[in-house]
Amino acid sequence: MLSMKRIIVVFCLLFASVYSDQDPFYLGSTLYAPYMTSPTEPLYSLVMQREFNIAVAENEMKFSGVHGGGQTIYDFSRADAIATLAMQNGMKMRGHTLVWHHAIPSWLSQGNYTSVQLAQILVDHITTVIQHYSQKYPGLILAWDVVNEAYNVERGYLNEQAALIAAGKDPTDPANIKSPRTIWSKIGQFDAAGNPISTWDPLRDYVRLAFRTARAADPNVKLFYNDYSNEGISTGSTGNYNFVKGLVGEGVPIDGVGMQYHLLLNKPTDVNNYSQSTLLSNLQRYAALGLDIHITELDVRIPTSDATGFIPTTPDLLAAQTQVFANVAATCAQTPACKALLCWGFTYAHSWIPASFAFFGAATPFDQNYVPTPGYLALQKGLLLRKKCCF
């Protein structure tokens, strides 16, 4: 006879499978094709396959990744190698990213294109890339980061201009400008005859065009706006929220917001910057706009004593980092609109952090030997809150 415990377990497993079919949660990481197939790193593919049901290309789907050779030249070979592996392993993908101020190839940055030509290039790029994936890999791409970091880049530019003016320096002199505007901001500045357009909005015009183009290219794929400094509640994150809210309010087709979550702990007490309450408040205000939320690029960097970024300086930092992984996972798990969480690399061995932030690292849930860190366990435990039954 079946014991009551077994009956409950079977019922719960059935319930969990139905629940997960209807409302899958995606946990993922960047996937780099050469490591996935490398005989010297068998653990890379083992961990990828065992842990994750969604992948993202760290660089290969960016503008220069697929459209680096010239205005009419697209090369999907490196990006498709990742898409094929994801497909073969039963994973979904996030498409990252169509419009960004980085990964701009020289043919574009040095092309001296007019405002109208730039708009044509943007429309052609978005349409070609989205349709390539919807036709060649139907259903693979769950969501596109249509626009990446627009708000924060414009904010940085405007702050810098204000500082230059306050210091009595020329804000138009390229020698003074450290953070020039994205190339895309020129869209909408002039009409085809070269006359200035009085309503030019250097931040929103290209963003609106990008989302409308993406929707026309594929009515089914989810369209996301992705940005950083968007964790708890701060001046920057509130500006980001108001920016997205404004676009949604005017009917721009945005389905979701991506929050990068490149987190930083300089000292153990910095854990307070990422409390569950502040993270939750930010997620909830986006959810209230009717948007899906993906945490798109999670890593938690801490000071390391080695330049390779493998050795955390103190156990206290590792403990604080573990708490942050727990907070992030639990907050996402408690928010029904939060439907995916992706790490920006999963092993210390292949993380962008040490190369980008000197003497920081140990930022991922697996160490350089593919051993789960305490942060991994905290992440998994936090996500269990999402599973409504039996775990």
Q: Is 229 left (phi over 0), alpha (psi -120 to 50) or beta?
A: left
323 is a site residue for ligand XIL (CB under 6 A) = no
> Of 60, 149, 154, 231, which residue is the catalytic one?
149
Q: Please pick, from the candidates 64, 182, 240, 260, the single residue that binds ligand XIL as defined by CB under 6 A.
A: 260
CB of 314 to ligand XIL, least distance (A): 26
Contact between 364 and ligand XIL per CB under 6 A: no
Burial class (CB in 10 A: 0-12, 13-18, 19+), 212: middle
Select 29 or 260, whichever has its Cβ closest to ligand XIL: 260
Which one of 49, 53, 59, 368 is in contact with ligand XIL (CB under 6 A)? 59
Nearer to ligand XIL, 101 or 204 (CB): 101
Least distance in angstroms from the C-beta of 16 to ligand XIL: 33
Options 44, 184, 352, 376; binder of ligand XIL; rule CB under 6 A: 352
Known catalytic residue: 154? no
Is 297 one of the catalytic residues? yes
Binding of residue 348 to ligand XIL (CB under 6 A): no
Q: Which is nearer to ligand XIL, 292 or 297 (CB)?
A: 297
Range 144-183, binding ligand XIL (CB under 6 A): 148
Query: By CB under 6 A, how many residues form the interface with ligand XIL?
Result: 6
CB of residue 103 to ligand XIL, shortest distance in Å: 7
**Which residues are identified as catalytic?**
149, 297
Binding footprint of ligand XIL on the chain (CB under 6 A): 58-59, 148, 260, 297, 352
